[in-house]
């Protein structure tokens, strides 16, 4: 995942809509191919400062009540960080979403909302998402194509949509 | 009137330094060894230079003066490097610090000698050497502080930098906050001394000139000149160091590249 976002040194080549990774600057690539890591990081005081334009409406879809933008970052739970991290990442309107166990810290209700939000974004943009998960049921809910890594080999199987 | 210092006077001051070292060792602050080494060095170095300073001031051999200046700059560059907890690997560390001292102190000293002081000859050691010395001594502090702050903070805030990269920021943006923080750290000493000059502190050079019988206004003018040159030198020096190091901290694909830093060193 980090290699696809060009954050780790890697072999092989990746391209998006015919544009090869190494032919555009790394930050342009990362704006289009966005990685949501398992732990998001917040470095300013309040949530809103990390956004260009905070959308209360989108936050509402992810189960947040009003005024999230003014919340202190230090008081966010890891689940809240994860959901807000998704919102922040989508501001760049990426074409590809790389999600690394994004719902590991979320309860069932929030997980469903998170899935719905990502699916909606992917359908409307349109974009695609690569979603790493250990939860078979989740993969059944969200994916069109599943791959499994077993002993370092990649296996493909069609999901029952 | 000139009050001579006795060995006893100096020992009294030395006892204070020793006490500080003991206290620091007791509190495990880890500065004692460095403090003692620096104290012994200052004693020996000043004694030696005191003996030869007159000879240096009397020569007018350009090559000899150039040599003296080069030694001063290299030593200052080396000292900057020695104050760093995480240095750049290889010649980069020494190159960056010495190079920036060259820009900040050497070029500014030259500029000042040619345009402002206009001694005859322009490289007259009585002006060139102390001027360069004062500039180096001060910019060295600023550069060492700014550099240390940059690499240390970048190291500690690795997750933040990576997160900002993931959000599609350029390496320049991702480290911009840390860089301005380091700039501030490097500039605080000279901004402090400019703000406090005359009210809190009486700069040594000016005071010395006045006590030696110079016209106060003339001495003050010299001091202002020095202050401006030091602040410009420190500023340019810190900026060039921060620019070079923050470039060096990322590879060509805007990824953090900490393998270019040496492991933490204690001294």
C-alpha torsion sign, points A125, B255, A42, A44: negative
The better pLDDT of the pair B204, B17 is held by B17
User: Is it the case that residue B114 has pLDDT exceeding 60?
Assistant: yes
Region B1-12: mean pLDDT is 84
Output the pLDDT for position B5: 85
User: Is it the case that residue B78 has pLDDT exceeding 90?
Assistant: yes
Q: For residue range A100-145, what is the model confidence (pLDDT) as tens digits?
A: 999 988 999 999 999 999 999 999 988 999 999 888 889 889 888 8
- To which H or E segment does residue A132 belong? strand A128-132
C-alpha–C-alpha distance, residues A16 and A20, integer Å: 6
Nearest CA-CA distance, residue A15 and chain B, Å: 15
* Dihedral Cα B232, B237, B240, B243, nearest 10 deg: -100
Domain residue ranges in chain A: 15-158
**Residue B192's pLDDT band (boundaries 50, 70, 90)?**
very high
User: Is it the case that residue B167 has pLDDT exceeding 50?
Assistant: yes
- Please check whether residue A81 touches B, CB under 8 A: no
pTM, rounded to two decimals: 0.86
- Please check whether residue B259 touches A, CB under 8 A: no
Q: Which fold has domain A15-158?
A: Rossmann fold (3.40.50)
User: Is it the case that residue B41 has pLDDT exceeding 70?
Assistant: yes
User: Is it the case that residue B82 has pLDDT exceeding 60?
Assistant: yes
Region B90-106: mean pLDDT is 91
Output the pLDDT for position B186: 96
Which residues in chain A (87-146) have CB-CB distances under 8 A to chain B?
88-89, 92
φ and ψ at residue A145, rounded to 5 degrees:
-140, 130
Asked if ipTM goes beyond 0.85, one says yes
Structure tokens at B7: 């060995």
Residues forming a β-bridge with B211 = none
> Which residue from B157, B160, B165 is facing A7, i.e. has the nearest CB?
B165
C-alpha–C-alpha distance, residues A73 and A75, integer Å: 5
Whether B222 contacts B205, CB under 8 Å: yes
Q: For residue range A26-35, what is the model confidence (pLDDT) as tens digits?
A: 999 999 999 9
A78-92, B9-23, B202-216: least confident range: B202-216
Of A88, A76, A73, the C-alpha closest to A37 is: A88
Q: For residue range A60-96, what is the model confidence (pLDDT) as tens digits?
A: 999 898 889 999 999 999 999 999 999 999 999 999 9
Q: What is the DSSP string of B25-78?
A: HHTT-S-HHHHHHHHHHHHHHHHHHHHHHHHHHH---HHHHHHHHHHHHHHHHH
Inter-chain touch A41–B254, beta carbons under 8 Å: no
**Residue B265's pLDDT band (boundaries 50, 70, 90)?**
low
Structure tokens at A3: 């290699």
Inter-chain touch A7–B170, beta carbons under 8 Å: no
User: Is it the case that residue B1 has pLDDT exceeding 70?
Assistant: no
**Residue B57's pLDDT band (boundaries 50, 70, 90)?**
confident
The better pLDDT of the pair A155, A128 is held by A128
Output the pLDDT for position B183: 97
């Amino acid at each position: 995942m980090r290699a696809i976002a060009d954050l780790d040194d890697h072999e092989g080549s990746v391209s998006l809509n015919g544009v090869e990774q190494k032919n555009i600057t790394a930050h342009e690539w990362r704006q289009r191919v966005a990685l949501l890591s398992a732990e998001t990081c917040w470095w300013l005081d309040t949530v809103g400062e990390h956004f260009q334009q905070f959308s209360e409406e989108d936050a509402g879809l992810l189960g947040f009540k009003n005024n999230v933008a003014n919340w202190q970052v230090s008081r966010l739970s890891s689940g809240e960080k994860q959901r807000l991290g998704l919102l922040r990442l989508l501001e760049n309107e990426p074409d590809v979403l790389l999600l690394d166990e994004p719902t590991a810290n979320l309860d069932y209700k929030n997980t469903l909302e998170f899935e719905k939000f990502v699916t909606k974004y992917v359908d409307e943009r349109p974009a695609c998402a690569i979603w790493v998960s250990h939860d078979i049921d989740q993969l059944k809910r969200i994916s069109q194509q599943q791959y499994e890594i077993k002993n370092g080999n990649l296996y493909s199987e069609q999901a029952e949509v | 009137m000139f009050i001579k210092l006795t060995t006893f006077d100096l020992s009294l001051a030395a006892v204070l330094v020793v006490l500080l070292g003991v206290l620091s060792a007791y509190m495990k602050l880890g500065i004692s060894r460095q403090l003692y080494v620096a104290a012994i060095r200052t004693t020996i170095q000043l004694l030696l230079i005191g003996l030869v300073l007159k000879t240096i001031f009397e020569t007018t051999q350009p090559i000899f003066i150039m040599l003296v200046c080069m030694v001063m700059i290299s030593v200052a560059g080396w000292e900057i490097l020695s104050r760093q907890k995480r240095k750049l690997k290889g010649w980069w560390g020494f190159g960056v610090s010495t190079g920036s001292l060259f820009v900040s102190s050497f070029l500014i000293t030259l500029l000042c000698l040619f345009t402002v002081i206009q001694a005859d000859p322009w490289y007259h050691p009585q002006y060139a050497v102390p001027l360069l010395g004062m500039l180096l001594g001060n910019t060295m502090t600023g550069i060492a502080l700014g550099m240390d702050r940059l690499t240390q903070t970048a190291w500690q805030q690795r997750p933040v930098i990576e997160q900002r990269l993931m959000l599609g920021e350029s390496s320049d943006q991702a480290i911009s906050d840390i860089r301005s923080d380091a700039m501030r750290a490097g500039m605080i000493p000279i901004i402090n001394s400019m703000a406090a000059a005359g009210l809190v502190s009486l700069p040594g050079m000016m005071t010395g000139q006045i006590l030696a019988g110079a016209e106060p206004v003339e001495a003050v003018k010299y001091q202002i000149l020095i202050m401006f040159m030091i602040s410009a030198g420190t500023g340019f020096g810190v900026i060039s160091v921060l620019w070079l190091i923050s470039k060096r901290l990322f590879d060509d694909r805007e990824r953090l590249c900490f393998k270019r830093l040496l492991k933490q060193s204690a001294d």
